[in-house]
Structure 1
Amino acid sequence: MTKTKVLTGITTTGTPHLGNYVGAIRPAIEESRDENIQSYLFLADYHALIKGRDPKRIHQSGLEIAATWLALGLDTDRVTFYRQSDIPEIMELNWIVGCMTAKGLMNRAHAYKASTQANQEAGESDLDKGILMGLFNYPILMAADILMFNANRVPVGRDQVQHLEMARDIAGRMNHHYKTRFVMPEAVVGENTAVLNGLDGRKMSKSYDNTIPLFVPEKKLLKLIRKIKTNSLEPGEPKDPATCTLFQIFSAFATEAEIAEKRKQYEAGAGWGDLKNELFEYINTVLTEPRERYNALMADPAFIEAELKKGAEKARAEAAPFLQDIRKKVGISPFA
């Protein structure tokens, strides 16, 4: 039976946090264990260059992200786990499909339109001021990532759905003009995907500097959890779990029975201090073993590099012959 190909990219611009884990990492690892799924997971380090300007941070982020996925149980024998920059075929495909991509299509990309809108509101006469080609061409590279492996499904946030539609448009133009065999990828928007709030009550995001890194030491984890914003209700006063970040985070890790018991504590007026300490104890117990594995992996970057090279070999074994077929179809091949 043909397996469904699912592709997920992780941009190497930050340290994985609790929100990343419950929203993307955990479901992707669980899905990769499905016998009917063929998973492709990659470090999107070329994409990171669009916003990242610190070479050391991008490099360190890649190491942290790879160690995180491995520490949480990703089976690299079951999946194709690779670094984008280790697959030169992707960048060659990026150029080929870019030559069949209408500039008007890229003009409609949300990120580009937002940047030109910001310039207009600032009174700039040049609406393209400060906009780099990496941002403008981002959807083309994303299309190359997806089409290189003919992914059937791509889990994305709502803000990325447009890019999947663009990838389909590009694939369709290639298939029509050159008779290539690109699969039409489908965006998968997780309607029930857990989204965690951060320390300040907004969505947990490095952009807001409100994250709880996944594998910080115990003392730091406790300190961060105690910083989570709560209201001024006193111990003994009933509290609404539906509006509480502490309850939201707990619910993302706990069982249904544990969640029901915790809800009773809120209704009975448990104090914020106790609720924060209990959340720390619960989360810390869940993360203790993965944290130990993560620290061991971070101390052995050669092992991580070997795992990524193994994934790159697997990826290139598929990408190279596919690209050769595409090159031939567009007219780039030996004369004899």
Structure 2
Amino acid sequence: MSLITLSGLTPTSSGIHLGNYFGAVRQWIDLQDAGGAHYFIASYHALTTVRDPAQLSSNIRAVAMDYLALGLDPERAVIYRQEDVPEVCELSWILSTLTPMGLLERCVAYKDKVSQGISADHGLFAYPVLMAADILIVRSHRVPVGQDQKQHVEVTRDIAGKFNQTYGAVFPVPEPLILEGNAAKVPGIDGQKMSKSYGNDLCIFESEKKLRKRVMSIVTDSQGVDESKEPEGNTIFELYKLVATDDKVDAMADKLRSSGIGYGYGHAKQELFEAMLDYFADARSRRLQLEENPDEVEQILRSGADRIRPVVEKTMDAVRSAIGVIPSHS
């Protein structure tokens, strides 16, 4: 039997950005070959920041199309929406009764969001408990995450252990599968780590006009076109390394270091823009096809829901039996 792997993205913006792709989705694609891959759209999690229902619905569809366009394959993975597993909210409540306040208060992601001015409501505070429910309801063994999400998986492990200790061994205790590579190395247009919440992202499926405008807004130092510039640590160059061939990367580095050749940051940004279009050309083409066939996307998501439901129902039967709360219809 394959190990179950689960991960997902929160639809808080209208598309997957470079940080999402190189930090997570590219590795998810590879993990599909091992079997047991499950990828979901974390719609309920988005409610902590997205309060416009039409926008959230649009974001969910966009992330679904992005998943498929980038290479998540419904033949090799179960792809579904969180709202198609409403029992996750029931499980979240059950798990919350075993979760110490101090465990949640120590979560760095919560502190970071509050420091950004995001309202400290219960949903944001209890976010890791819902994440634990997402993971445990499918009895996941592995959770591929970046280093910044590792703590949330550790919280899940603590909660699963507490449940098993209290009620018996219902859940496997999942392991974080840390995505190394470029997960922490994707800078946004302002030089900070690329993040939707920072508003510094480059969305892969943005229109060419909007994408070019975003690329051209990358913050740089004041070195002129004829002055030598250090490539390493430069936001343009760091992004270029992700999407360009080694030869082209070396060529850009040489041009940036050279003085008196009239090569400025504007030229480098244009090369980055063109390299992004090249790198994602097939995905962008597939994305356009999916936009024209929304029924295909919906069918894939419904199929994913149909595949995951027996697993969820079996888990919840075991949970309800363990805690002694068994609905009359069971």
Q: TM-score, normalised by structure 1?
A: 0.86
Residues 65-74 or 104-113, more deviating: 104-113
Q: Deviations over 1:209-244 (max 9, x none)?
A: 222221122222222222222233233433211021
- Cα contact 2:188–2:202 (8 A) shared by 1: yes
- Cα contact 1:180–1:326 (8 A) shared by 2: no
Within-5 A mapping of 1:192-203: 192-194=181-183, 195-203=185-193
Tell me how far 1:334 sits from its aligned partner: 7.0
Q: Distance in 2 between matches of 1:207 and 1:263?
A: 31
Residues 247-256 or 130-139, more deviating: 130-139
Structure 1 residue identity aligned to 2:60:
G
Equivalent position to 2:264, from 266, 271, 274: 271
Please name the residue that 1:262 is paired with.
Answer: 252
- Cα contact 2:160–2:173 (8 A) shared by 1: yes
Name the SS for the 2:280 alignment partner: helix
Please name the residue that 1:297 is paired with.
Answer: 290
Equivalent position to 2:139, from 145, 150, 172: 150
Please name the residue that 1:212 is paired with.
Answer: 202
Structure 1 gap ranges (5+): 120-129
Aligned CA-pair RMSD: 2.6
Alpha-carbon spacing, 1:206–1:176, altered in 2? closer, same or farther (3 Å): closer
Structure 1 residue identity aligned to 2:234:
C
Alpha-carbon spacing, 1:239–1:5, altered in 2? closer, same or farther (3 Å): same
Q: Distance in 2 between matches of 1:116 and 1:13?
A: 17
**Does structure 1 residue 89 correspond to structure 2 residue 79?**
no
Within-5 A mapping of 1:1-336: 2-15=1-14, 16-32=16-32, 34=33, 36-110=34-108, 131-194=120-183, 195-269=185-259, 270-333=263-326
Q: Distance in 1 between matches of 2:42 and 2:28?
A: 16
Name the SS for the 1:243 alignment partner: coil
Alpha-carbon spacing, 1:3–1:240, altered in 2? closer, same or farther (3 Å): same
Give the count of matched residue pairs.
323
Structure 2 residue identity aligned to 1:244:
N
Structure 2 gap ranges (5+): none
Structure 1 residue identity aligned to 2:49:
K
Name the SS for the 1:4 alignment partner: coil
Identical-residue share of aligned pairs (%): 39
- Cα contact 2:23–2:146 (8 A) shared by 1: no
- Cα contact 2:24–2:145 (8 A) shared by 1: no
Name the SS for the 1:42 alignment partner: strand
Alpha-carbon spacing, 1:144–1:245, altered in 2? closer, same or farther (3 Å): same
- Cα contact 2:23–2:181 (8 A) shared by 1: no
Q: Deviations over 1:170-199 (max 9, x none)?
A: 111221222133111122333323432222
- Cα contact 2:24–2:146 (8 A) shared by 1: no
- Cα contact 1:4–1:38 (8 A) shared by 2: yes
Residues 107-116 or 311-320, more deviating: 107-116
Residues 95-104 or 207-216, more deviating: 95-104
Tell me how far 1:111 sits from its aligned partner: 5.4
- Cα contact 2:139–2:172 (8 A) shared by 1: yes
Alpha-carbon spacing, 1:226–1:313, altered in 2? closer, same or farther (3 Å): same
Q: Distance in 1 between matches of 2:104 and 2:281?
A: 45
Alpha-carbon spacing, 1:109–1:236, altered in 2? closer, same or farther (3 Å): closer
Alpha-carbon spacing, 1:114–1:274, altered in 2? closer, same or farther (3 Å): closer
Alpha-carbon spacing, 1:102–1:304, altered in 2? closer, same or farther (3 Å): same
Name the SS for the 2:136 alignment partner: helix
Q: TM-score, normalised by structure 2?
A: 0.88
- Cα contact 2:170–2:318 (8 A) shared by 1: no
Q: Distance in 2 between matches of 1:196 and 1:334?
A: 48
Q: Distance in 1 between matches of 2:204 and 2:251?
A: 25
Name the SS for the 2:8 alignment partner: strand
Alpha-carbon spacing, 1:244–1:87, altered in 2? closer, same or farther (3 Å): same
Q: Distance in 2 between matches of 1:14 and 1:185?
A: 28
